[in-house]
């Protein structure tokens, strides 16, 4: 586990119509072992923020700090699962899962053994040698998360991992992710548009403003763990949901 500090990040892109500031002096924090959700309007810079944390883009100002060390612009410090599963269609589930080890010139044989040992935990027993075309949407997402876990980084970034799934599959995978997180001891940042998902999974929720992104609200989710989907019908859950809805509506009204 590791602590992540995003300190005063700003990012402006040059476009044919002039400069567009996507993020403006944004500061957020995830404690070691914490589950943090980030929600906000479409186009508010959430994916850009993740690209900066992952070192895929460099901010104009500010810093990314992990356990007190400035890692701004440095790749490979976090495990990043983008919106699309990005599974290579010509590789099996196992061979997709060990890609991080190949990139790092690690022990691929050991990574294959580890991936096979984890298939049951990821609901993929019997599918290790199958190619992605044979998998359901939920199975593809679990395979992509297996690959992310095998990156062996203490911080994981999940960018709307269940956004393209139907409601039932999404609910099932949310519960599955909660059980998995309890065992992994990882710090997780999740981007989502789903308020219920944010409250069900996270310890804290950051609401971002429309572009340029700043923090409109930091909300502590004071709901007991372990959590189940039945909790979404409880008054305490409804109270937190209403608070997030109010802030999001206020921010959307400024677009």
CB 128, CB 93: distance < 8 Å: yes
Residues 6+ apart with CB under 8 A from 169: 136, 137, 138, 162
User: How many beta carbons lie within 10 A of that of residue 3, not counting itself?
Assistant: 17
Q: Per the structure block, which two tokens stand in for 56?
A: 């895929």
Residues 6+ apart with CB under 8 A from 112: 94, 98
Of 195, 155, 227, 214, nearest in space to 205 by CA: 195
Residues 6+ apart with CB under 8 A from 196: 232, 241
Of 218, 220, 251, 216, nearest in space to 236 by CA: 220
Question: Quick one: pLDDT at residue 180?
Answer: 79
Question: Quick one: pLDDT at residue 252?
Answer: 67
Question: Quick one: pLDDT at residue 178?
Answer: 82
Question: Quick one: pLDDT at residue 164?
Answer: 66
Q: Per the structure block, which two tokens stand in for 123?
A: 């609901």
Q: Per the structure block, which two tokens stand in for 218?
A: 């930091």
Of 90, 81, 201, 86, nearest in space to 151 by CA: 81
**Helix, strand or coil, per DSSP, at residue 79:** strand
Question: Quick one: pLDDT at residue 60?
Answer: 95
Question: Quick one: pLDDT at residue 254?
Answer: 58
Question: Quick one: pLDDT at residue 43?
Answer: 76
CB 254, CB 207: distance < 8 Å: no
- Classify residue 53 by burial, with Cβ atoms within 10 Å: 0-12, 13-18, 19+: buried
Mean pLDDT by runs of 10 across the 255 residues of the chain is 92 90 95 93 85 94 95 90 86 92 87 91 90 90 87 90 75 80 86 92 94 93 89 93 91 61
Question: Quick one: pLDDT at residue 166?
Answer: 76
Question: Quick one: pLDDT at residue 109?
Answer: 92
Distance in angstroms (rounded) separating the CA atoms of residues 109 and 111: 5
Question: Quick one: pLDDT at residue 158?
Answer: 92
């Amino acid at each position: 586990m590791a602590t992540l500090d995003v300190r005063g990040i700003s990012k402006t892109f040059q476009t044919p119509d002039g400069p567009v500031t996507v993020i403006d002096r944004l500061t957020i924090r995830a404690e070691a072992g914490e589950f943090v959700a980030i929600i906000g309007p479409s186009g508010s810079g959430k994916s850009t923020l993740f690209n900066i944390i992952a070192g895929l883009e460099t901010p104009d100002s500010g810093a990314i700090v992990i356990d007190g060390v400035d890692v701004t612009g440095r790749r490979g410090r976090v495990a990043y699962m983008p919106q699309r599963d990005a599974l290579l269609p010509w590789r099996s589930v196992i061979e997709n899962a060990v890609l991080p080890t190949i990139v790092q010139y690690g022990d691929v044989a050991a990574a294959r053994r580890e991936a096979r040992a984890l298939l049951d935990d990821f609901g993929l027993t019997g599918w290790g040698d199958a190619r992605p075309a044979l998998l359901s949407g939920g199975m593809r997402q679990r395979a992509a998360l297996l690959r992310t876990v095998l990156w062996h980084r203490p911080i994981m970034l999940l960018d709307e991992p269940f956004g393209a799934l139907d409601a039932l599959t999404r609910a099932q995978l949310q519960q599955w992710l909660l059980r998995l997180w309890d065992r992994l001891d990882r710090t997780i940042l999740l981007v989502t548009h789903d308020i219920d998902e944010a409250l069900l999974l996270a310890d804290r929720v950051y609401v971002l403003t429309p572009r340029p992104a700043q923090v409109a609200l930091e909300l502590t989710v004071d709901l007991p763990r372990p959590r189940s989907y039945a909790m979404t019908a409880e008054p305490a859950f409804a109270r937190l949901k209403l608070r997030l809805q109010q802030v999001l509506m206020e921010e959307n009204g400024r677009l």
